[in-house]
Structure 1
Amino acid sequence: MGEANGTRVVKRQVNASNLGAKTKFRAYVLWLFGGIFGAHHFYLGRDDHGFLWWCSLGGYFGAGWLRDLFKIPGYVSDANNEPEYIEWFKNQVRTNNKPPFSTCRFIGGVVISYLWGELVYMAIPEDEVYGINFKPLMILIPAAVALGVWVVGNVGREEGSIWVPLVAAYVCYPTLTYLGDDSTWMSAMVLTAALSFDTWSKRWRLKPKKKRGLVRRLTILGLAALLYSSLWGSYFVFNARFTDSEGEEIKISEAVKHFLTSPIWLDLKASLHETWRHAQHHGFWATWRQLVDLTDPRGEINAYKVLGLSQTASQSEVTAKWRSLSRENHPDKVKGSEDERRVAQEKFMEIQQAYEILSSAKNRRQSRNRKPA
């Protein structure tokens, strides 16, 4: 009797542990529909991996996302601490004193650290803001580079200290900025930091990462996302430019400011305001039907415009105008070049189509009026 009770207790414990187990099915579904933003990694508790995917659009702009198609079974086994995976990992540790060189992980560290270092560089305002010169913040670029190398290096069952790439990046920073252009010194600093981490810092993660509560996970991820987004925001507000039709560079922030005073925006703003007022007085669905009509789904508004008539014109006026325009724009009257005849043919066809649209509308209305009440 006691053995039976003990067996039931063990079964309940096993079932309870299985409730929290991660499944390949869910991981693949999240990979398919949100993998480019790291959804499957967040599900498996790999928050650092998920954040890297989120800020690089699928792990180095989609490459890592495709690679995960084959790596997800291993990630799930790792998340569940399955005995087969743990035994495989122990064998790796016994065989190699330190994690072997991984081309994918190394390239990932280089790409992420370059992205983060370049982002900090771009986010620093080039001009003074309210009389403050932010150029001294350039000193943070090596820290961003080292952080990128370190985060990639600490994904999964590998880890390492941030101090090695941090020191390497800051040692290179003064010399490289003096000798090379922007892209050259950034690339050299990134490679130096990545190589130093791979050579002297990385090691096996013998103890699993400590599990964090949901609130703490969301707080950390939220702060990281906020910092990353604010850097992009600073870049677009202070430094981002585009080239106009005359080949001149214009700051996006200035273009947005001028757009808000442009005729096209003022007209759109007035239309939106009028739509809102109409919705307040006549209700949402009446306004929605009016908006649908204004999109001219049957082409009747444009047809009247092509024929040069108002929307209140009678069918006899439509027919008379159609005959007149057809005679005036008939392609046989054009004796010019091939392009002129082609333009005349297109205009003639447009007139015929407009007349057909309005005639069909008339027939529909007549059929609807003849229906018994």
Structure 2
Amino acid sequence: MGQKRTLQHNNNNNCSSSTSSNGTSNICGSAAASGYESIVDSGSTAAPTKVKAHGHSKKYSEQNALPEKKSVVVAYILWLVGGIFGLHHLYLHRDRHAFLWWCSLGGYMGIGWFSEIFLIPEYVRDANEDPQFLKVFIAKLHAYPRPPYSSKRFMGQVMFGYLFGQLFSSAVPQTLTAGIDFSWMHWFIPIFVSLGVWTVGNIGRECGIWWPCYVGSLVAYLARFYIYDETYSLLLSALVSALIFDGFSKEWRRTPPRRRGATERTVKLGAAICIYFAVWGSVVVFNGSITDEDGGEMPIYEALQNFLASAWWTDLKQALHDTYIYGQHHGWYETWREVFESMDVDGERNAYKVLGVGATASQADITAAYRKLSKENHPDKVKDEALREAAHQRFIEIQQAYNVLSKIKSSRRRKNNKYNEDAAIKL
């Protein structure tokens, strides 16, 4: 039997009592506010114990249930095969961490991903709420009223604050779009800077509120009127926002993390990904450009408008509309069959065209056309070296067309013979 240790929360005197098989002692301080009402260490297993407060039994919510155990081996495999996209963080329910890794390809092109090679076991213990991990965490709560400074986390806040701010800045249309000046949207840049800082600050067992980050970022962003290089004004905004979070906002995450379901996690993460893609889409559409055949640059949104007004797009829309109407009247199976045949997947139609014969041509007609064209286009008959290569390609094309049609005709003959034999047997 292993030693059993229970840490209980006392609501009356802001203290916690620690009871073990060897005795009883009181623990006062920040651990009492941690929200970890019971930690049971019984050998290799752990189970929550019921706690009474003010004479009433507390009902355990979903967040107090023990999490599903995660595997270090699985986490390392996911880190190796999809770590730059945050796959291992998704497995460990570190959704914020996963999103940051996904949108920066592993923390600025894999730098953060590689630095985690020795941190995976600790991440797994955190996800499993391992009793030893929680003891160390509660010891930190006693030792530090607020989380101590971490250069790694601070640098991450500055980097992602700058990344998000720069991305949104690039998404604001730089010219008039549909006669509208969108330059006023630059005032939303501090929001994205502070969101980057706040997201990094809320990873793991630390947390903090958002609005102080935003206020710091907004005040620092006013330096853009004195620092005309946006690179430095964005960097200053991210730096001040991170300093405000580190000095005034951050605190310990004292309550056990709530176990969110797959649906809630998917909706929130999907919404963040959609916003990220929308910003990137604005970057490409409004501020991207392409080079035309004359060497000039054209904004992508103008090229898109021209494309939507082109005859090719008009014909495509009409073809899709006609296909939909045809499907409504003849059924979608027949429509798909017609579309599949028009795609000429087996190359039959193109082969008829190459040999110059019709679809009703017999095998004898196909062979005759093949022999005639082969003689006319044989490379040995072409004396000009410049034209011989083209004749060789034409000769190969004729051979391939003949092989395609011969194979199709042979396959159909076998099917017809088999059908006739089966019909004769039935008779």
Please report the TM-score for the alignment, with normalisation by the length of structure 1: 0.76
Q: 1:360 aligns with which of 407, 420, 423?
A: 407
> 2:150 is aligned with what amino acid?
F
Partners of 1:128 and 1:261 in 2: CA distance: 21
Give 3-state SS (helix, strand or coil) of 1:156's partner. coil
1:240 corresponds to: 288
1:45-75 CA distance string (max 9 Å, x none)? 5443344345445554565566667644433
- 2:190 aligned to which of 124, 135, 142: 142
What is the CA–CA distance in structure 1 between the aligned matches of 2:369 and 2:176, rounded to whole Å? 64
Distance 1:201 1:130, change over 3 A: same
> Contact 1:22 / 1:76 at 8 angstroms: preserved in 2?
no
The alpha carbon displacement at 1:326 in A equals 1.2
* Counterpart for residue 369 of structure 1: 416
Instruction: Indicate the residue corresponding to 1:207 in structure 2.
Output: 254
Matches of 2:117 and 2:360, distance apart in 1: 61
User: Do residues 266 (structure 1) and 314 (structure 2) align?
Assistant: yes
Q: What letter matches 2:375 in structure 1?
A: R
Deviation string 1:1-33 (CA, Å, 9 cap, x unpaired) is: xxxxxxxxx999669999752222597498789
The one-letter amino acid of 1:369's match is N
Asked whether 1:311 is paired with 2:339, we answer no
Would the aligned equivalents of 1:60 and 1:112 in 2 still touch at CA under 8 Å?
no
State the shift of 1:322 in Å.
1.6
Equivalent-residue separation in structure 2 for 1:49 and 1:209 (angstroms): 18
Please name the residue that 2:134 is paired with: 86
8 A contact 1:99–1:204 mirrored in 2: no
Structure 2 residue aligned with 1:101? 150
Asked if 1:334 corresponds to 2:382, the answer is: yes
User: In the alignment, is the contact (CA less than 8 A) between 1:176 and 1:189 conserved in 2?
Assistant: no
> Which amino acid is the alignment partner of residue 312 of structure 2?
I
CA deviations over 1:335-362 (Å, ceiling 9, x no partner): 223x532332222111111112212222
Q: What residue ranges of structure 1 are gaps of 5+ in the alignment?
A: 1-9
The alignment partner of 2:298 has SS state of strand
Partner SS for 1:250: strand
Asked whether 1:151 is paired with 2:199, we answer yes
The whole-number CA distance in structure 1 between the counterparts of 2:415 and 2:337 is 19
Higher helix share: 1
Structure 2 residue 304 is matched with structure 1 residue 256 = yes
Check conservation: 2:156, 2:200, Cα contact below 8 A.
Answer: yes
Which residue of structure 1 aligns with residue 369 of structure 2? 321
Secondary structure, aligned partner of 1:309: coil
Question: By how many angstroms is 1:107 displaced?
Answer: 4.6
Cα deviation for residue 82 of structure 1 reads 1.9
Shift of 1:178: 4.0
Partner of 2:398: 351
Distance 2:332 2:103 in 1: 39
Q: Is the strand fraction higher in 1 or 2?
A: 2
Change in 2 beyond 3 A, CA 1:362/1:172? same
Which shifted more, 267-276 or 26-35?
26-35
For 1:366, give the aligned amino acid: R
Q: Note if contact 2:46-2:131 (Cα within 8 Å) is conserved in structure 1.
A: no
- Give the residue type in structure 2 aligned to 1:24: K
Counterparts of 2:414 and 2:323, CA distance in 1: 33
Offset, 1:328: 1.6
Code of the residue aligned with 2:70 in structure 1: it is K
Structure 2 CA distance for partners of 1:162 and 1:297, relative to 1, 3 Å: closer
Judging changes above 3 Å, is the alpha-carbon distance between structure 1 residues 322 and 159 closer, same or farther for their aligned structure 2 residues?
same
Cα distance, 1:110 vs. partner? 3.5
1:153 touches 1:202 (CA, 8 Å); kept in 2? Answer: no
Residues 149, 246 of structure 2: 8 Å contact kept: no
Supply the AA of the counterpart residue of 1:364.
Answer: S
Deviates more, 1:39-48 or 1:77-86: 39-48
Please name the residue that 1:52 is paired with.
100
Displacement after TM superposition at 1:331 (Å): 0.8
Task: Give RMSD over aligned pairs.
Answer: 4.1
Residue type at the aligned position of 2:409: K
User: Larger C-alpha radius of gyration, 1 or 2?
Assistant: 2
Residues 180, 189 of structure 1: CA spacing in aligned structure 2 closer, same or farther, 3 A cutoff?
Answer: same
Distance (Å, rounded) in 1 between the aligned partners of 2:393 and 2:178: 58
Give CA-to-partner distance per residue, 1:259-286, whole Å, 9 cap, x none: 2232332333333233333333332333
TM-score between both structures, scaled by the size of structure 2: 0.68
Which segment drifts farther, 310-319 or 347-356?
Answer: 310-319
Deviation per CA, 1:140-161: give whole Å up to 9, x if none: 3233223312221221123456
Q: Is the 8 A contact 2:66 2:129 kept in 1?
A: no
What residue in structure 1 maps to residue 68 of structure 2?
A: 22
C-alpha deviation, 1:332, in angstroms: 0.8
Partner Cα distance (1:172, 1:333) in 2: 79
Quote the offset at 1:121 in angstroms: 1.2
Say if 1:150 and 1:305 are closer, same or farther in 2 by CA, change over 3 A. same
For residues 74-93 of structure 1, give each alpha carbon's deviation from its aligned partner in whole angstroms, at most 9, with x where no partner exists: 33422342211112334556
C-alpha distance in structure 2 between counterparts of 1:284 and 1:33, whole Å: 40
**Aligned residue in 1 for 2:31:** none
CA deviation vs aligned residue, 1:190-226 (integer Å, no higher than 9, x gap): 45544x3587457561513663866887776576556
